[in-house]
Amino acid sequence: MKRLILVLALVLASALPAHATFSIVGIDPVTGDLGIAVASRYFAVGAVVPWADAGVGAVATQAGVNVGYGPRALELLRQGLTAQQVMDTLFAEDTFPGKDGRQLAIVDAKGNIAVFTGDAAQQWRGHTKGKTWSAQGNILVGQHVVEAMGRAFEATNDELAEKLYAALKAGDDAGGDSRGRQSASILVVRKAGGRNTNNDRYVFVNVDDHLDPLGELRRLMNLQMTINHGGALNRAMSASDFAKALASAEKLVSYSPLDPAVHLRTGFIAYLAGHRDRATAAFSRAKQLTLPAQFKTLWDGQSSRTPAFARVLEDKAFVATILPAQ
């Protein structure tokens, strides 16, 4: 009897649509960033669901998925169609079986949002949307999953990549995919925002198979965001834009909170940006994370390697508050 029950369970599981998932698409109306975050009890969900093109739009295609919706939607958006017009065209062109079980969300570069959940998608299925985002899912534990995602997106005062991650984490914390966890992905596009030359993928991180895909996605995102803001900081310093450099430096602190060198660099930049209180706080935190001799070594190294930091050394009274023995 137990064997029969096990066989029936396996048969039922194999009958489930391959792309049960929860996702969120969004846009930052200030920067123009576009992106998608997605998680699922499905191998390598990032290879199927998220599609985006900088200055064009972002698409999540799932449930009874037609993968061709992704590239075709971006092609139509480039032609000037709105998100809803693209969706209408996709369904009109779709000749593959299972169209009534599709789930699709599109946000275009002007902030228009279109979302559809087919009646044949398995329960719980549905979506909710706000002014700059849409959250959707199928085979979820309940409607509260997408509602939690929307609240987290709205409540996160940060750049789009972090808002998308916060939404995905909230959905996972609310129960997410009723079958469990396996993979997750986040894709954010920005003109010339990616690594190296001619790359618009500001963030593209995939966790294909993991017991804790959201935790691993967070770890990998920290690495990617460190690279992003490290590059932004260097560019700002080269332009002597210390306010912008400080914004990136403080972001780097959030991704490497236990690295004294990161705090120390932030202190120098905060001083140059005219924020002595923030400089003092950053230097104090760096001292807390090191032994006195180590702090002095870091101080000497950074102040000598970065010409702009020499201006801090000229303020003898301020330096005395940081290095009272000098």
Q: Please indicate, yes or no, whether residues 258 and 122 belong to a single structural domain of this protein.
A: no
Q: Please indicate, yes or no, whether residues 284 and 187 belong to a single structural domain of this protein.
A: no
Torsion of CA 75, 81, 130, 26, to 10 degrees: 30
**pTM over the 0.85 mark:** yes
Cβ density class 167-191: b for 16+ within 10 Å, e for less = bbbbbbebebbbeebbbbbbbbbbe
Domain count of the chain? 2
Q: Please indicate, yes or no, whether residues 273 and 141 belong to a single structural domain of this protein.
A: no
Would 11 be classed as within a structural domain? Answer: no
Cα end-to-end span (Å), the chain: 81
Cα(155)–Cα(166) distance, integer angstroms: 9
Q: What does DSSP say about strands 201-207 and 183-189: parallel, antiparallel, or unpaired?
A: antiparallel
Q: What is the CATH number of the domain that holds 204?
A: 3.60.20.10
Q: How far is CA 267 from CA 223, 232, 242, 304, 308, in A?
A: 22, 17, 12, 15, 13
Q: Please indicate, yes or no, whether residues 135 and 273 belong to a single structural domain of this protein.
A: no
Given 228, 248, 271, which residue is the final one in a domain?
228
| pLDDT, tens digit only, all 326 positions of the chain | 444 433 333 333 333 444 569 999 999 999 999 999 999 999 999 999 999 999 999 999 999 999 999 999 999 999 999 999 999 999 999 999 999 999 999 999 999 999 999 999 998 999 999 999 999 999 999 999 999 999 999 999 999 999 999 999 999 999 988 888 999 999 999 999 999 899 999 999 999 999 999 999 999 999 999 999 999 999 999 999 999 999 999 999 999 999 999 999 999 999 999 999 999 999 999 999 999 889 999 999 999 999 999 999 999 999 999 997 64
Residues 6+ apart with CB under 8 A from 92: none
Structure letter (DSSP) for residue 190: -
Per DSSP, helices labelled H in the chain are 2-14, 69-78, 83-93, 144-155, 160-173, 213-238, 242-255, 260-272, 276-288, 292-305, 310-313, 316-322
CA atoms within 13 A on the CB side of 148: 19
Q: Please indicate, yes or no, whether residues 171 and 259 belong to a single structural domain of this protein.
A: no
Q: Which structural domain range is residue 59 located in?
A: 16-228
Given 197, 228, 259, which residue is the final one in a domain?
228
Token match 């997605």: residue?
38
Q: What is the CATH number of the domain that holds 284?
A: 1.25.40
| Both structure tokens of 7 | 């066989």
Q: Please indicate, yes or no, whether residues 134 and 85 belong to a single structural domain of this protein.
A: yes
Would 145 be classed as within a structural domain? Answer: yes
Cα(121)–Cα(119) distance, integer angstroms: 6
Q: Please indicate, yes or no, whether residues 118 and 91 belong to a single structural domain of this protein.
A: yes
Given 228, 255, 287, which residue is the final one in a domain?
228
Q: Please indicate, yes or no, whether residues 218 and 257 belong to a single structural domain of this protein.
A: no
Would 176 be classed as within a structural domain? Answer: yes
Would 207 be classed as within a structural domain? Answer: yes
| Both structure tokens of 60 | 């999540």
Q: Please indicate, yes or no, whether residues 143 and 283 belong to a single structural domain of this protein.
A: no
